[in-house]
Structures are given as structure tokens and as C-alpha cells.
Amino acid sequence: MTQPPVTSRSSRSAVAAHPVTSAVIAILVLASIFFAVYVPLYASVTPKVGDFPFFYFFLLAYMPALGIVMWIVITLQRRLQPERGAEGPEAVRTGEVAK
């Protein structure tokens, strides 16, 4: 008996295969860049939180929030990657040498 031929998986990229996940990643990254670059958001002396100017409070709140957002992005990116061995043993991945 012979084994059926191994069919190659679809040649769609991970971004094309999961457009919603890719859009969520893009929105989270762009929002984190926007909140860091948009200076009028935090460049004022008037609002104070205790003895701290708002800029320092903004940074104290923004950095842990940014860490959480980047963790979510990394987790979503890992979901986009194909599982190892999903293409079969004959498949050659980028950077690997065929035997």
C-alpha cells in the first residue's frame, strides 16, 4: 500500500490568513506609538497628581500599560505562526538546508 501524496498547504501568508488578528496587532502598535508621540496629550503643567506634574504621572501609567499591550501583541503574533511540523517532514523552512 502506498501513502497518499503530501499536499502542500495553502501559500497564503499568515497576515492574509488571519486579517482580524493582524488588524488588531496593527491597531495596538499604532495606538502605542500615537500615545507616545502626541505631545499635547501630556505636555501641560496644570493637571497635577499629588506633587507630580501630569507628565510624570502619564509616564508612570503609560510604561506598564505599554508592557501589557506589547505582551498582547507578541501573544497574537505567536498565534499567527504556523505550528512546527504542520507542513510535514519533507517541507523545508526558510533558513534550513534540505537533506
> What does the pLDDT look like over 48-87, one tens digit per residue?
767 777 778 888 888 999 999 999 999 988 888 876 655 5
- What range does the domain containing 73 cover? 16-79
Say if 5 falls within a structural domain: no
Which stretches does DSSP call E strand in the chain?
A: 48-49, 52-53
Grid cell for residue 17:
490568513
Say if 99 falls within a structural domain: no
Number of domains within the chain: 1
Say if 47 falls within a structural domain: yes
Say if 22 falls within a structural domain: yes
Say if 74 falls within a structural domain: yes
The dihedrals phi and psi of 48, each to the nearest 5 degrees, come to -125, 145
Report pTM. Answer: 0.60
Say if 94 falls within a structural domain: no
Note the pLDDT of residue 27: 94
Say if 11 falls within a structural domain: no
Say if 27 falls within a structural domain: yes
